[in-house]
Chain A
Amino acid sequence: MIRLSIPVRQALARLTLPVLIAVAFGLMLLGKADTLLAERARIALSDALAPIYAVMAQPLDHVQLLLRNGRRVLSVFEDNARLRQENERLRHWQSVALALDTENARLKANLHWIPDPQAHYVTARVVADAGGVYARSVLLAAGPNHHITKGQIALDDRGLVGRVTEVGSRSVRVLLITDLNSRIPVTLEGSGARAMLMGTNGPRPRLMHWPEGVHPMEGERVVTSAEAGAFPPGLIVGTVHYSATNIPEVQPAARLDRLEIVRIFDYGLRGVLSPEAGDGPPAWHARHDRRQINGR
Protein backbone atom coordinates (compact mmCIF):
# COMPACT_ATOMS: atom_id res chain seq x y z
CA MET A 1 0.00 0.00 0.00
CA ILE A 2 1.23 3.47 -0.85
CA ARG A 3 2.04 5.58 2.18
CA LEU A 4 0.62 9.08 1.82
CA SER A 5 1.18 11.95 4.15
CA ILE A 6 -1.69 12.82 6.47
CA PRO A 7 -2.68 16.11 4.73
CA VAL A 8 -2.78 14.41 1.31
CA ARG A 9 -4.85 11.60 2.71
CA GLN A 10 -7.26 14.00 4.37
CA ALA A 11 -7.60 15.99 1.16
CA LEU A 12 -8.30 12.77 -0.76
CA ALA A 13 -10.89 11.72 1.82
CA ARG A 14 -12.58 15.09 1.52
CA LEU A 15 -12.61 14.81 -2.27
CA THR A 16 -14.20 11.33 -2.45
CA LEU A 17 -17.75 12.44 -1.72
CA PRO A 18 -17.95 15.28 -4.28
CA VAL A 19 -16.34 13.07 -6.92
CA LEU A 20 -18.81 10.26 -6.22
CA ILE A 21 -21.72 12.70 -6.37
CA ALA A 22 -20.47 13.84 -9.77
CA VAL A 23 -20.22 10.17 -10.81
CA ALA A 24 -23.84 9.71 -9.67
CA PHE A 25 -24.91 12.50 -12.02
CA GLY A 26 -22.82 10.85 -14.73
CA LEU A 27 -24.61 7.54 -14.05
CA MET A 28 -27.96 9.27 -14.50
CA LEU A 29 -26.91 10.72 -17.83
CA LEU A 30 -25.39 7.41 -18.90
CA GLY A 31 -28.55 5.53 -17.92
CA LYS A 32 -30.56 8.02 -19.96
CA ALA A 33 -28.23 8.00 -22.98
CA ASP A 34 -27.69 4.25 -23.12
CA THR A 35 -30.77 2.46 -21.77
CA LEU A 36 -29.35 -0.86 -22.87
CA LEU A 37 -26.50 -0.53 -20.38
CA ALA A 38 -28.82 -0.22 -17.38
CA GLU A 39 -30.90 -3.06 -18.76
CA ARG A 40 -27.87 -5.30 -19.13
CA ALA A 41 -26.70 -4.52 -15.59
CA ARG A 42 -30.15 -5.33 -14.26
CA ILE A 43 -30.29 -8.59 -16.21
CA ALA A 44 -26.87 -9.61 -14.89
CA LEU A 45 -28.01 -8.95 -11.31
CA SER A 46 -31.33 -10.77 -11.80
CA ASP A 47 -29.56 -13.74 -13.39
CA ALA A 48 -27.34 -13.99 -10.33
CA LEU A 49 -30.19 -13.56 -7.86
CA ALA A 50 -32.96 -15.60 -9.50
CA PRO A 51 -31.58 -19.04 -8.49
CA ILE A 52 -31.06 -17.85 -4.90
CA TYR A 53 -34.58 -16.43 -4.69
CA ALA A 54 -35.94 -19.62 -6.28
CA VAL A 55 -34.40 -21.64 -3.44
CA MET A 56 -35.84 -19.22 -0.88
CA ALA A 57 -39.28 -19.27 -2.49
CA GLN A 58 -40.31 -22.70 -1.25
CA PRO A 59 -39.90 -22.15 2.51
CA LEU A 60 -41.41 -18.68 2.10
CA ASP A 61 -44.42 -20.21 0.35
CA HIS A 62 -44.87 -22.60 3.28
CA VAL A 63 -44.84 -19.76 5.80
CA GLN A 64 -47.30 -17.74 3.76
CA LEU A 65 -49.57 -20.76 3.34
CA LEU A 66 -49.54 -21.33 7.10
CA LEU A 67 -50.45 -17.70 7.77
CA ARG A 68 -53.18 -17.75 5.14
CA ASN A 69 -54.63 -21.01 6.46
CA GLY A 70 -54.62 -19.61 9.98
CA ARG A 71 -56.65 -16.66 8.78
CA ARG A 72 -59.02 -18.90 6.80
CA VAL A 73 -59.87 -21.06 9.80
CA LEU A 74 -61.44 -18.03 11.45
CA SER A 75 -63.88 -17.43 8.61
CA VAL A 76 -64.59 -21.02 7.64
CA PHE A 77 -68.35 -20.86 8.31
CA GLU A 78 -69.03 -17.76 6.26
CA ASP A 79 -66.78 -19.03 3.48
CA ASN A 80 -68.65 -22.30 3.39
CA ALA A 81 -72.04 -20.62 3.02
CA ARG A 82 -70.72 -18.26 0.36
CA LEU A 83 -69.08 -21.06 -1.59
CA ARG A 84 -72.28 -23.15 -1.50
CA GLN A 85 -74.18 -20.27 -3.07
CA GLU A 86 -71.45 -19.63 -5.59
CA ASN A 87 -71.34 -23.31 -6.48
CA GLU A 88 -75.05 -23.35 -7.28
CA ARG A 89 -74.67 -20.29 -9.47
CA LEU A 90 -71.65 -21.78 -11.23
CA ARG A 91 -73.50 -25.06 -11.87
CA HIS A 92 -76.16 -23.09 -13.66
CA TRP A 93 -73.50 -21.28 -15.73
CA GLN A 94 -71.74 -24.51 -16.46
CA SER A 95 -74.84 -25.96 -18.10
CA VAL A 96 -75.23 -22.74 -20.10
CA ALA A 97 -71.57 -22.85 -21.14
CA LEU A 98 -71.77 -26.51 -22.21
CA ALA A 99 -74.85 -25.80 -24.32
CA LEU A 100 -73.15 -22.78 -25.92
CA ASP A 101 -69.98 -24.78 -26.52
CA THR A 102 -71.87 -27.47 -28.47
CA GLU A 103 -73.74 -24.80 -30.41
CA ASN A 104 -70.48 -22.98 -31.14
CA ALA A 105 -68.80 -26.16 -32.36
CA ARG A 106 -71.76 -26.91 -34.64
CA LEU A 107 -71.80 -23.40 -36.10
CA LYS A 108 -68.02 -23.41 -36.63
CA ALA A 109 -68.30 -26.76 -38.41
CA ASN A 110 -70.99 -25.32 -40.69
CA LEU A 111 -68.90 -22.22 -41.44
CA HIS A 112 -65.67 -24.15 -42.15
CA TRP A 113 -63.98 -22.04 -39.46
CA ILE A 114 -60.17 -22.02 -39.46
CA PRO A 115 -59.21 -22.54 -35.81
CA ASP A 116 -56.71 -20.20 -34.17
CA PRO A 117 -53.27 -21.77 -33.83
CA GLN A 118 -52.57 -23.15 -30.36
CA ALA A 119 -50.04 -20.99 -28.58
CA HIS A 120 -47.03 -22.58 -26.91
CA TYR A 121 -46.46 -21.71 -23.31
CA VAL A 122 -44.01 -22.29 -20.51
CA THR A 123 -44.75 -21.99 -16.82
CA ALA A 124 -42.41 -20.09 -14.54
CA ARG A 125 -42.27 -19.24 -10.88
CA VAL A 126 -42.30 -15.63 -9.70
CA VAL A 127 -39.20 -15.27 -7.55
CA ALA A 128 -39.16 -11.56 -6.77
CA ASP A 129 -41.28 -8.47 -6.79
CA ALA A 130 -38.79 -6.60 -8.90
CA GLY A 131 -40.83 -3.42 -8.75
CA GLY A 132 -39.72 -0.16 -7.23
CA VAL A 133 -41.61 2.89 -6.08
CA TYR A 134 -42.38 3.91 -9.64
CA ALA A 135 -42.10 0.53 -11.34
CA ARG A 136 -44.26 -2.56 -11.32
CA SER A 137 -42.59 -5.71 -12.56
CA VAL A 138 -41.86 -9.23 -11.39
CA LEU A 139 -38.85 -11.45 -11.80
CA LEU A 140 -39.33 -15.03 -12.98
CA ALA A 141 -36.84 -17.86 -12.61
CA ALA A 142 -36.34 -19.63 -15.92
CA GLY A 143 -34.20 -22.63 -16.74
CA PRO A 144 -30.90 -22.06 -18.51
CA ASN A 145 -32.29 -23.27 -21.87
CA HIS A 146 -35.56 -21.39 -21.96
CA HIS A 147 -36.91 -20.04 -25.24
CA ILE A 148 -38.64 -16.99 -23.81
CA THR A 149 -38.17 -13.83 -25.87
CA LYS A 150 -39.08 -10.19 -25.40
CA GLY A 151 -42.70 -9.33 -26.06
CA GLN A 152 -44.17 -12.68 -25.03
CA ILE A 153 -47.28 -12.51 -22.93
CA ALA A 154 -47.64 -13.48 -19.28
CA LEU A 155 -50.95 -14.76 -17.91
CA ASP A 156 -51.85 -16.17 -14.54
CA ASP A 157 -54.79 -18.52 -14.03
CA ARG A 158 -57.29 -15.65 -14.21
CA GLY A 159 -56.11 -13.11 -16.74
CA LEU A 160 -53.45 -10.94 -18.31
CA VAL A 161 -50.41 -10.18 -16.15
CA GLY A 162 -48.12 -8.30 -18.51
CA ARG A 163 -45.40 -8.65 -21.07
CA VAL A 164 -41.81 -9.88 -21.04
CA THR A 165 -39.45 -6.90 -21.25
CA GLU A 166 -36.05 -8.23 -20.20
CA VAL A 167 -34.66 -11.68 -20.82
CA GLY A 168 -31.55 -13.03 -19.16
CA SER A 169 -30.06 -16.50 -19.22
CA ARG A 170 -31.75 -17.58 -15.97
CA SER A 171 -34.28 -14.87 -15.29
CA VAL A 172 -37.07 -13.06 -17.07
CA ARG A 173 -38.60 -9.74 -16.14
CA VAL A 174 -42.30 -9.17 -16.78
CA LEU A 175 -43.65 -5.62 -16.90
CA LEU A 176 -47.05 -5.70 -15.18
CA ILE A 177 -50.09 -4.03 -16.71
CA THR A 178 -50.14 -1.63 -13.75
CA ASP A 179 -46.67 -0.19 -14.53
CA LEU A 180 -46.47 3.45 -15.59
CA ASN A 181 -44.96 2.44 -18.93
CA SER A 182 -47.59 -0.16 -19.74
CA ARG A 183 -49.92 0.60 -22.68
CA ILE A 184 -52.26 -2.14 -23.79
CA PRO A 185 -54.76 -1.98 -26.64
CA VAL A 186 -58.05 -3.37 -25.34
CA THR A 187 -61.60 -3.99 -26.46
CA LEU A 188 -64.62 -3.29 -24.30
CA GLU A 189 -66.52 -6.52 -24.62
CA GLY A 190 -70.02 -5.06 -24.30
CA SER A 191 -69.77 -2.36 -26.94
CA GLY A 192 -66.88 -3.79 -28.96
CA ALA A 193 -65.18 -0.37 -28.75
CA ARG A 194 -61.40 -0.11 -28.79
CA ALA A 195 -59.53 1.70 -26.02
CA MET A 196 -56.09 1.93 -24.44
CA LEU A 197 -55.28 0.66 -20.98
CA MET A 198 -52.63 2.79 -19.29
CA GLY A 199 -50.78 1.73 -16.17
CA THR A 200 -50.78 4.34 -13.40
CA ASN A 201 -48.52 2.67 -10.84
CA GLY A 202 -51.66 2.13 -8.75
CA PRO A 203 -53.53 -1.16 -8.39
CA ARG A 204 -55.97 -0.34 -11.20
CA PRO A 205 -54.81 0.84 -14.65
CA ARG A 206 -56.85 3.53 -16.37
CA LEU A 207 -58.95 3.29 -19.54
CA MET A 208 -58.27 6.00 -22.12
CA HIS A 209 -58.96 6.93 -25.73
CA TRP A 210 -62.27 5.12 -26.15
CA PRO A 211 -64.30 6.34 -29.15
CA GLU A 212 -66.79 9.13 -28.79
CA GLY A 213 -70.34 8.08 -28.07
CA VAL A 214 -69.26 4.96 -26.19
CA HIS A 215 -69.23 4.86 -22.43
CA PRO A 216 -67.42 2.11 -20.59
CA MET A 217 -70.01 0.50 -18.34
CA GLU A 218 -69.33 -0.41 -14.74
CA GLY A 219 -68.58 -4.11 -14.56
CA GLU A 220 -68.05 -4.48 -18.32
CA ARG A 221 -65.41 -7.04 -19.27
CA VAL A 222 -62.25 -5.75 -20.91
CA VAL A 223 -60.22 -8.02 -23.20
CA THR A 224 -57.05 -7.48 -25.24
CA SER A 225 -57.33 -6.28 -28.80
CA ALA A 226 -55.06 -7.30 -31.65
CA GLU A 227 -54.42 -3.68 -32.61
CA ALA A 228 -50.72 -3.13 -33.38
CA GLY A 229 -50.04 -6.84 -33.30
CA ALA A 230 -48.71 -6.93 -29.77
CA PHE A 231 -51.44 -9.11 -28.25
CA PRO A 232 -53.77 -11.78 -29.53
CA PRO A 233 -57.42 -10.74 -29.35
CA GLY A 234 -59.65 -11.80 -26.49
CA LEU A 235 -57.35 -12.34 -23.49
CA ILE A 236 -59.19 -11.36 -20.34
CA VAL A 237 -57.74 -8.22 -18.75
CA GLY A 238 -60.36 -7.32 -16.17
CA THR A 239 -63.58 -5.46 -15.54
CA VAL A 240 -64.38 -1.75 -15.72
CA HIS A 241 -64.66 -0.01 -12.39
CA TYR A 242 -65.30 3.70 -11.90
CA SER A 243 -63.01 5.37 -9.39
CA ALA A 244 -64.20 7.83 -6.76
CA THR A 245 -63.36 10.69 -9.15
CA ASN A 246 -65.48 9.07 -11.88
CA ILE A 247 -62.56 7.91 -14.02
CA PRO A 248 -63.03 4.52 -15.69
CA GLU A 249 -60.39 2.09 -14.47
CA VAL A 250 -59.93 -1.61 -14.92
CA GLN A 251 -59.86 -4.02 -12.02
CA PRO A 252 -57.32 -6.59 -13.27
CA ALA A 253 -58.59 -10.15 -13.39
CA ALA A 254 -55.12 -11.46 -12.59
CA ARG A 255 -54.06 -11.41 -8.95
CA LEU A 256 -51.17 -9.05 -9.51
CA ASP A 257 -50.48 -8.51 -5.82
CA ARG A 258 -49.85 -12.18 -5.11
CA LEU A 259 -48.42 -13.70 -8.25
CA GLU A 260 -46.80 -17.08 -7.68
CA ILE A 261 -46.79 -18.90 -10.97
CA VAL A 262 -47.37 -17.41 -14.41
CA ARG A 263 -47.54 -18.85 -17.88
CA ILE A 264 -45.57 -17.20 -20.66
CA PHE A 265 -47.32 -17.58 -24.02
CA ASP A 266 -45.66 -17.37 -27.40
CA TYR A 267 -48.33 -16.21 -29.85
CA GLY A 268 -45.72 -15.52 -32.49
CA LEU A 269 -46.54 -11.81 -32.38
CA ARG A 270 -43.72 -9.42 -33.13
CA GLY A 271 -45.56 -6.10 -33.05
CA VAL A 272 -44.29 -3.01 -31.22
CA LEU A 273 -41.09 -4.55 -29.86
CA SER A 274 -40.03 -5.61 -33.34
CA PRO A 275 -36.72 -3.75 -34.02
CA GLU A 276 -34.58 -6.20 -32.10
CA ALA A 277 -37.00 -8.95 -31.15
CA GLY A 278 -38.71 -9.70 -34.43
CA ASP A 279 -38.09 -11.41 -37.67
CA GLY A 280 -41.58 -11.48 -39.18
CA PRO A 281 -43.10 -8.28 -40.60
CA PRO A 282 -45.27 -6.81 -37.84
CA ALA A 283 -47.78 -5.30 -40.27
CA TRP A 284 -48.71 -8.72 -41.55
CA HIS A 285 -49.61 -9.95 -38.06
CA ALA A 286 -51.68 -6.87 -37.38
CA ARG A 287 -53.60 -7.26 -40.61
CA HIS A 288 -54.01 -10.96 -40.07
CA ASP A 289 -55.42 -10.48 -36.58
CA ARG A 290 -57.75 -7.72 -37.63
CA ARG A 291 -59.15 -9.98 -40.29
CA GLN A 292 -59.85 -12.56 -37.64
CA ILE A 293 -61.72 -10.04 -35.56
CA ASN A 294 -63.73 -8.81 -38.51
CA GLY A 295 -64.49 -12.37 -39.48
CA ARG A 296 -65.89 -13.10 -36.07
Chain B
Amino acid sequence: MDDRPIAEASRGIRRPGIRPRPSLWRQLDMSARFSFPALSTALLLLLLAAPLGLDCQAALQGAVALGCVFFRSVYRPSSMPPLAVFLLGVLADLLSAAPLGVAVLILLLLHGTAMRWRRVLARQGFIPVWLVFSALALAAALLQWLLTAALTFRLLPPGPALFIGVLATGLYPLLAVALIRAHQTLAEPDHA
Protein backbone atom coordinates (compact mmCIF):
# COMPACT_ATOMS: atom_id res chain seq x y z
CA MET B 1 0.00 0.00 0.00
CA ASP B 2 3.01 2.24 -0.41
CA ASP B 3 3.63 4.08 -3.60
CA ARG B 4 6.89 5.69 -2.55
CA PRO B 5 9.11 3.88 -5.09
CA ILE B 6 6.94 5.04 -7.99
CA ALA B 7 6.72 8.56 -6.70
CA GLU B 8 10.47 8.62 -6.29
CA ALA B 9 11.05 7.08 -9.67
CA SER B 10 8.78 9.66 -11.25
CA ARG B 11 10.76 12.40 -9.55
CA GLY B 12 13.99 10.95 -10.84
CA ILE B 13 15.33 9.96 -7.40
CA ARG B 14 17.58 6.94 -7.60
CA ARG B 15 17.71 4.52 -4.74
CA PRO B 16 20.71 2.23 -4.30
CA GLY B 17 20.23 -1.39 -5.29
CA ILE B 18 20.55 -3.80 -8.15
CA ARG B 19 17.92 -3.37 -10.80
CA PRO B 20 17.37 -5.10 -14.16
CA ARG B 21 18.43 -3.18 -17.21
CA PRO B 22 15.69 -0.79 -18.44
CA SER B 23 15.26 -2.58 -21.75
CA LEU B 24 12.39 -1.70 -24.10
CA TRP B 25 10.49 -4.84 -23.07
CA ARG B 26 10.80 -4.00 -19.39
CA GLN B 27 9.69 -0.43 -19.97
CA LEU B 28 6.67 -1.67 -21.91
CA ASP B 29 5.88 -4.09 -19.11
CA MET B 30 6.19 -1.34 -16.51
CA SER B 31 4.01 1.10 -18.39
CA ALA B 32 1.40 -1.61 -18.97
CA ARG B 33 1.32 -2.35 -15.24
CA PHE B 34 1.24 1.37 -14.56
CA SER B 35 -1.73 2.03 -16.81
CA PHE B 36 -3.55 -1.16 -15.83
CA PRO B 37 -5.84 0.45 -13.20
CA ALA B 38 -7.26 3.13 -15.49
CA LEU B 39 -7.50 0.84 -18.52
CA SER B 40 -9.12 -2.00 -16.60
CA THR B 41 -11.69 0.40 -15.16
CA ALA B 42 -12.50 1.67 -18.66
CA LEU B 43 -12.83 -1.90 -19.93
CA LEU B 44 -15.07 -2.79 -17.02
CA LEU B 45 -17.33 0.16 -17.86
CA LEU B 46 -17.49 -0.92 -21.50
CA LEU B 47 -18.24 -4.49 -20.48
CA LEU B 48 -21.06 -3.35 -18.21
CA ALA B 49 -22.67 -1.55 -21.17
CA ALA B 50 -22.87 -4.82 -23.12
CA PRO B 51 -26.21 -6.64 -23.19
CA LEU B 52 -25.61 -8.88 -20.20
CA GLY B 53 -29.30 -8.98 -19.33
CA LEU B 54 -28.75 -7.79 -15.76
CA ASP B 55 -31.55 -5.77 -14.21
CA CYS B 56 -29.61 -2.87 -12.78
CA GLN B 57 -26.76 -2.60 -15.26
CA ALA B 58 -26.83 1.19 -15.47
CA ALA B 59 -26.59 1.53 -11.70
CA LEU B 60 -23.89 -1.14 -11.62
CA GLN B 61 -21.84 0.89 -14.08
CA GLY B 62 -22.00 3.96 -11.86
CA ALA B 63 -21.24 1.98 -8.72
CA VAL B 64 -18.20 0.27 -10.25
CA ALA B 65 -16.82 3.60 -11.50
CA LEU B 66 -17.15 5.10 -8.01
CA GLY B 67 -15.55 2.10 -6.30
CA CYS B 68 -12.62 1.79 -8.70
CA VAL B 69 -11.77 5.49 -8.71
CA PHE B 70 -11.97 5.73 -4.91
CA PHE B 71 -9.85 2.64 -4.27
CA ARG B 72 -7.15 3.65 -6.74
CA SER B 73 -7.12 7.25 -5.53
CA VAL B 74 -6.53 6.10 -1.95
CA TYR B 75 -4.06 3.28 -2.49
CA ARG B 76 -2.28 4.12 -5.72
CA PRO B 77 -2.95 7.69 -6.82
CA SER B 78 0.04 7.69 -9.15
CA SER B 79 -1.68 5.23 -11.49
CA MET B 80 -5.03 7.03 -11.37
CA PRO B 81 -4.04 10.61 -12.25
CA PRO B 82 -6.73 13.30 -12.52
CA LEU B 83 -6.59 13.16 -16.32
CA ALA B 84 -7.42 9.43 -16.29
CA VAL B 85 -10.32 10.14 -13.90
CA PHE B 86 -11.52 12.85 -16.26
CA LEU B 87 -11.45 10.53 -19.28
CA LEU B 88 -13.20 7.77 -17.33
CA GLY B 89 -15.92 10.28 -16.45
CA VAL B 90 -16.39 11.27 -20.09
CA LEU B 91 -16.63 7.58 -21.03
CA ALA B 92 -19.20 6.94 -18.29
CA ASP B 93 -21.25 9.95 -19.40
CA LEU B 94 -21.24 8.93 -23.04
CA LEU B 95 -22.12 5.32 -22.22
CA SER B 96 -24.98 6.19 -19.90
CA ALA B 97 -26.57 8.87 -22.11
CA ALA B 98 -26.40 11.22 -19.13
CA PRO B 99 -25.89 14.98 -19.54
CA LEU B 100 -22.22 15.42 -20.48
CA GLY B 101 -19.99 16.34 -17.56
CA VAL B 102 -21.99 14.94 -14.64
CA ALA B 103 -19.96 11.78 -14.09
CA VAL B 104 -16.77 13.73 -14.89
CA LEU B 105 -17.39 16.19 -12.08
CA ILE B 106 -18.51 13.53 -9.59
CA LEU B 107 -15.52 11.28 -10.23
CA LEU B 108 -13.07 14.21 -10.07
CA LEU B 109 -14.53 15.41 -6.77
CA LEU B 110 -14.40 11.86 -5.39
CA HIS B 111 -10.79 11.57 -6.54
CA GLY B 112 -9.90 14.93 -4.99
CA THR B 113 -11.51 14.06 -1.66
CA ALA B 114 -9.90 10.63 -1.57
CA MET B 115 -6.51 12.17 -2.37
CA ARG B 116 -6.88 14.73 0.39
CA TRP B 117 -7.76 12.11 3.00
CA ARG B 118 -5.51 9.35 1.78
CA ARG B 119 -2.73 9.96 4.33
CA VAL B 120 -5.26 9.11 7.05
CA LEU B 121 -7.34 6.57 5.09
CA ALA B 122 -4.48 4.42 3.84
CA ARG B 123 -3.42 3.75 7.44
CA GLN B 124 -6.89 2.62 8.55
CA GLY B 125 -8.32 -0.87 8.43
CA PHE B 126 -10.93 -2.00 5.95
CA ILE B 127 -14.10 -1.08 7.87
CA PRO B 128 -13.36 2.65 8.43
CA VAL B 129 -12.39 3.04 4.74
CA TRP B 130 -15.59 1.28 3.76
CA LEU B 131 -17.65 3.60 5.96
CA VAL B 132 -15.99 6.67 4.48
CA PHE B 133 -16.55 5.31 1.00
CA SER B 134 -20.23 4.64 1.64
CA ALA B 135 -20.71 8.22 2.88
CA LEU B 136 -18.89 9.55 -0.20
CA ALA B 137 -20.87 7.27 -2.52
CA LEU B 138 -24.16 8.54 -1.08
CA ALA B 139 -22.95 12.12 -1.44
CA ALA B 140 -21.95 11.37 -5.04
CA ALA B 141 -25.39 9.87 -5.71
CA LEU B 142 -27.08 12.94 -4.29
CA LEU B 143 -24.86 15.19 -6.40
CA GLN B 144 -25.69 13.16 -9.50
CA TRP B 145 -29.39 13.54 -8.81
CA LEU B 146 -29.05 17.30 -8.26
CA LEU B 147 -26.88 17.86 -11.35
CA THR B 148 -29.06 15.75 -13.65
CA ALA B 149 -32.18 17.53 -12.41
CA ALA B 150 -30.54 20.94 -12.87
CA LEU B 151 -29.25 20.11 -16.34
CA THR B 152 -32.54 18.67 -17.58
CA PHE B 153 -34.67 21.34 -15.85
CA ARG B 154 -36.85 18.69 -14.32
CA LEU B 155 -37.66 17.35 -10.87
CA LEU B 156 -36.43 13.77 -10.96
CA PRO B 157 -37.13 10.98 -8.51
CA PRO B 158 -34.01 10.64 -6.31
CA GLY B 159 -34.51 6.86 -5.95
CA PRO B 160 -32.47 5.61 -8.93
CA ALA B 161 -29.50 7.82 -8.05
CA LEU B 162 -29.54 6.84 -4.38
CA PHE B 163 -29.70 3.21 -5.48
CA ILE B 164 -26.28 3.73 -7.08
CA GLY B 165 -24.92 4.92 -3.74
CA VAL B 166 -26.33 1.90 -1.93
CA LEU B 167 -25.15 -0.46 -4.66
CA ALA B 168 -21.65 1.06 -4.57
CA THR B 169 -21.53 0.58 -0.80
CA GLY B 170 -22.62 -3.03 -1.07
CA LEU B 171 -20.30 -3.76 -3.95
CA TYR B 172 -17.20 -2.19 -2.41
CA PRO B 173 -15.99 -5.20 -0.36
CA LEU B 174 -16.19 -7.47 -3.43
CA LEU B 175 -14.53 -4.86 -5.59
CA ALA B 176 -11.85 -4.25 -2.98
CA VAL B 177 -10.91 -7.94 -2.84
CA ALA B 178 -10.45 -8.05 -6.62
CA LEU B 179 -8.64 -4.71 -6.70
CA ILE B 180 -6.26 -5.63 -3.86
CA ARG B 181 -5.32 -8.84 -5.72
CA ALA B 182 -4.67 -6.86 -8.90
CA HIS B 183 -2.92 -4.15 -6.90
CA GLN B 184 -0.39 -6.62 -5.48
CA THR B 185 0.25 -8.52 -8.71
CA LEU B 186 -0.76 -7.15 -12.10
CA ALA B 187 -0.78 -3.44 -11.35
CA GLU B 188 2.53 -3.44 -9.46
CA PRO B 189 5.24 -1.82 -11.59
CA ASP B 190 7.92 -3.22 -9.25
CA HIS B 191 6.95 -6.73 -10.36
CA ALA B 192 7.95 -5.97 -13.92
- Residues on A facing B (Cβ under 8 Å): 6, 9, 16-17, 20-21, 23-32, 38, 41-42, 45, 49, 53, 56-57, 60, 64, 126-135, 137, 173, 180, 201, 257-258
- Kindly report which residue of chain A lies nearest to residue B10, judged by CB atoms: A9
- Chain B residues with CB under 8 A of A258: 53
- Chain B residues with CB under 8 A of A132: 58, 61-62, 95-98
B86 with A20: CB separation less than 8 A: yes
- Residues on B facing A (Cβ under 8 Å): 11, 46, 49-53, 55, 57-59, 61-62, 81-83, 85-86, 89-91, 94-102, 104-105, 108-109, 111-112, 115, 144, 147-148, 151-152, 154, 156-157, 160-161, 163-164
A129 with B57: CB separation less than 8 A: yes
B97 with A42: CB separation less than 8 A: yes
Pairs across A and B, CB under 8 Å, 23 listed: A20-B83, A21-B105, A24-B108, A25-B105, A27-B90, A27-B100, A28-B99, A31-B101, A41-B100, A53-B50, A131-B96, A131-B97, A132-B58, A132-B98, A133-B59, A133-B144, A133-B148, A133-B161, A134-B98, A134-B156, A135-B58, A173-B97, A180-B154
In the complex, how many angstroms separate the beta carbon of B53 from the nearest chain A beta carbon? 5
Interface of chain B: mostly helix, strand, loop or mixed = helix
Contact of A31 among B95, B100, B144 (CB under 8 A): B100
- Chain B residues with CB under 8 A of A23: 86, 104
Interface of chain A: mostly helix, strand, loop or mixed = helix
A201 with B51: CB separation less than 8 A: no
Find the residue from A28, A49, A57 having the highest chain B CB count within 10 A.
A28
B156 with A60: CB separation less than 8 A: no
- Kindly report which residue of chain B lies nearest to residue A19, judged by CB atoms: B82
A49 with B49: CB separation less than 8 A: yes
B50 with A16: CB separation less than 8 A: no
Q: Give Cα A64 to B85, complex, Å.
A: 33
B112 with A53: CB separation less than 8 A: no
- Chain A residues with CB under 8 A of B95: 45, 130, 132
B102 with A28: CB separation less than 8 A: yes
In the complex, how many angstroms separate the beta carbon of A58 from the nearest chain B beta carbon? 11
Q: Give Cα A137 to B81, complex, Å.
A: 32
- Chain B residues with CB under 8 A of A31: 99-101, 151
B86 with A201: CB separation less than 8 A: no
In the complex, how many angstroms separate the beta carbon of A181 from the nearest chain B beta carbon? 8
Find the residue from B46, B94, B109 having the highest chain A CB count within 10 A.
B94
Known: A131-B58, A133-B163, A180-B154. 19 other contacts (CB 8 A): A17-B108, A21-B112, A24-B104, A31-B100, A31-B151, A32-B99, A57-B50, A57-B51, A60-B51, A64-B53, A129-B49, A130-B49, A131-B96, A132-B96, A132-B97, A133-B98, A134-B98, A135-B96, A135-B98
